[in-house]
């Protein structure tokens, strides 16, 4: 097992001290971050992922479980060292934050906000409207007569509580599901059944009124690969975004979840590049919101699987970071010890999956180096990204 000191050698050896300097990455802590409000921490002196990403004003971070912060100390330290932006994996979803019709539980979200503030990190909100992670009372309480009011009340309460304190919100999550067969590709979610397509506009307008400063995001998965399903889904997402723009729905960004996979023949390229071009035409930023790489299709030992996963990180981030409208990057967790993939897509032999930048012992995995090098290769953006929402579109519903 590599020690932390070995890591420093590894970092130097793998990335080459020269290449770090060439990439403009201060090898050792120098408080000259692109984003003055964030002083990138270091990992035993070597530049952290956040420090490398900060060179082009790109916040890097991960999904976290607030209950583990300041409790599991390796987890906590790795997040502090490596991240400049966080998102709650589950604590801000309906099931966690709205456990009863008239009860809200902000404990996890408040703890995360305090932690982010203490460590000068930004915080994403995830999410205000989704077909999953709905509380047990939802089905028996919601109906066509009250659904709109309940959605508005939820967003006013939750987004209002954190107004002015968040980088962005995933306002609507995963509203497109082409397999449901609708011409518009919309998912037959409870929200669509109860309110109709206008639930999306209601959610975004309410979020803008509740928090005029957060960047309002439409977040989805399955839009990354050059495969028929993703082609169809990208077309449906673009069609939705164009309708939203036409209706002057307040939206600032698209979240590309980036749940990728290693060990398949599927490729990423023209389809995603075209999607980014079309999103740019809509004047929307792009966030990489939930990156990880599923290795359950792979055989081989962890080292071999890490190499395949790292190759996906390299190829994907080199493609995505060529685009200046990509203005945030988060992985869906930071360590292979805690990833949803070990539950949802477990490896048949029970081994940990290796989808994230740190291994199950909090040592840098191959994906760490691939990600850090991709951040280092990114050309410095001419203009700083727009970090606050254009609030002039906060109109009444």
Per CB under 6 A, residues contacting ligand G3I are: 89-90, 93, 132-133, 173, 221, 257, 290, 340
Q: Do 305 and 365 form a contact (C-beta atoms < 8 A)?
A: no
Cβ 340 to ligand G3I shortest distance, Å: 3
Which lies closer to ligand G3I via its Cβ, residue 32 or residue 132?
132
Cβ 208 to ligand G3I shortest distance, Å: 22
Structure tokens at 270: 């023209």
Which lies closer to ligand G3I via its Cβ, residue 25 or residue 158?
158
Residue nearest to ligand G3I (CB): 340
Query: Could you tell me where the beta strands, DSSP code E, fall in 103-250?
Result: 122-126, 168-173, 215-220
**HEC secondary structure over 141-202:** HCCCCCHHHHHHHHHHHHHHHCCCCCCEEEEEECCECHHHCCCCCECCCHHHHHHCCHHHHH
Cβ 86 to ligand G3I shortest distance, Å: 14
How many CB atoms are located within 10 Å of the residue 181 CB? 8
DSSP designation for 15: I
Question: CA-based angle 220:387:212, to the nearest 5?
Answer: 80
Cβ 251 to ligand G3I shortest distance, Å: 18
Which lies closer to ligand G3I via its Cβ, residue 218 or residue 221?
221
The HSE-up count of residue 17 (CA atoms within 13 Å, CB side) is 6
**How, if at all, do strands 253-256 and 285-294 pair?**
parallel
Alpha-carbon distance 261 to 314, whole Å? 13
Which lies closer to ligand G3I via its Cβ, residue 27 or residue 330?
330
Cβ 333 to ligand G3I shortest distance, Å: 8
Cβ 257 to ligand G3I shortest distance, Å: 5
Q: Which of 81, 89, 174, 224 is catalytic?
A: 174
**HEC secondary structure over 109-128:** HHHHHHHHHHCCCEEEEECC
At 318 the three-state DSSP class reads helix
Is 89 one of the catalytic residues? no
Which lies closer to ligand G3I via its Cβ, residue 7 or residue 340?
340
CA 305 distance to own-chain centroid: 23
Structure tokens at 293: 């790489």
Is 290 one of the catalytic residues? yes
Which lies closer to ligand G3I via its Cβ, residue 303 or residue 344?
344
Q: Which of 81, 89, 224, 290 is catalytic?
A: 290
Catalytic residues, by residue number, are: 174, 290
């Amino acid at each position: 097992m590599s020690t932390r000191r070995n890591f420093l050698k590894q970092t130097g050896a793998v990335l080459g001290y020269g290449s770090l300097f060439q990439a403009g990455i201060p090898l050792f802590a120098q408080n000259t971050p692109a984003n003055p409000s964030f002083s990138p921490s270091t990992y035993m002196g070597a530049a952290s992922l956040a420090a490398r990403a900060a060179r082009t004003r790109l916040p890097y971070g991960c999904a976290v479980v607030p209950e583990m912060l300041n409790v599991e100390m390796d987890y906590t330290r790795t997040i502090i060292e490596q991240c400049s932006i966080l998102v709650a994996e589950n604590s801000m979803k309906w099931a966690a934050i709205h456990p009863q019709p008239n009860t809200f539980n902000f404990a996890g979200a408040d703890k995360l906000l305090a932690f982010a503030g203490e460590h000068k990190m930004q915080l994403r909100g995830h999410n205000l409207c989704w077909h999953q992670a709905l509380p047990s009372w939802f089905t028996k309480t919601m109906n066509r007569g009250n659904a709109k009011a309940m959605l508005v009340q939820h967003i006013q309460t939750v987004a209002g509580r954190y107004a002015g304190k968040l980088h962005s919100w995933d306002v609507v999550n995963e509203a497109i599901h082409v397999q449901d067969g609708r011409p518009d590709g919309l998912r037959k979610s409870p929200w669509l059944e109860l309110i109709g397509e206008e639930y999306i506009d209601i959610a975004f307008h309410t979020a803008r009124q509740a928090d005029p400063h957060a960047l309002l995001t439409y977040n989805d998965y399955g839009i990354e690969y050059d495969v028929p399903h993703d082609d169809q889904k990208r077309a449906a997402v673009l069609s939705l975004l164009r309708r939203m723009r036409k209706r002057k729905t307040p939206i600032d960004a698209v979240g590309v979840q980036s749940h990728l996979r290693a060990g398949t023949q599927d490729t990423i390229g023209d389809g995603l590049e075209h999607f980014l071009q079309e999103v740019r035409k809509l004047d929307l930023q792009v966030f990489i919101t939930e990156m990880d790489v599923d290795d359950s299709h792979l055989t081989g030992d962890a080292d071999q699987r890490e190499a395949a996963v790292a190759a996906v990180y390299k190829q994907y981030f080199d493609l995505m970071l060529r685009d200046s409208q990509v203005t945030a990057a988060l992985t869906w967790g930071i360590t292979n010890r805690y990833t949803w993939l070990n539950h949802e897509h477990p490896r048949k032999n029970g081994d940990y999956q290796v989808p994230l930048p740190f291994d199950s012992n909090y040592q840098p995995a191959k994906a760490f180096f691939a990600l850090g090098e991709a951040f280092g290769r990114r050309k410095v953006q001419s203009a700083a990204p727009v970090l606050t929402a254009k609030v002039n579109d906060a109109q009444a519903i």
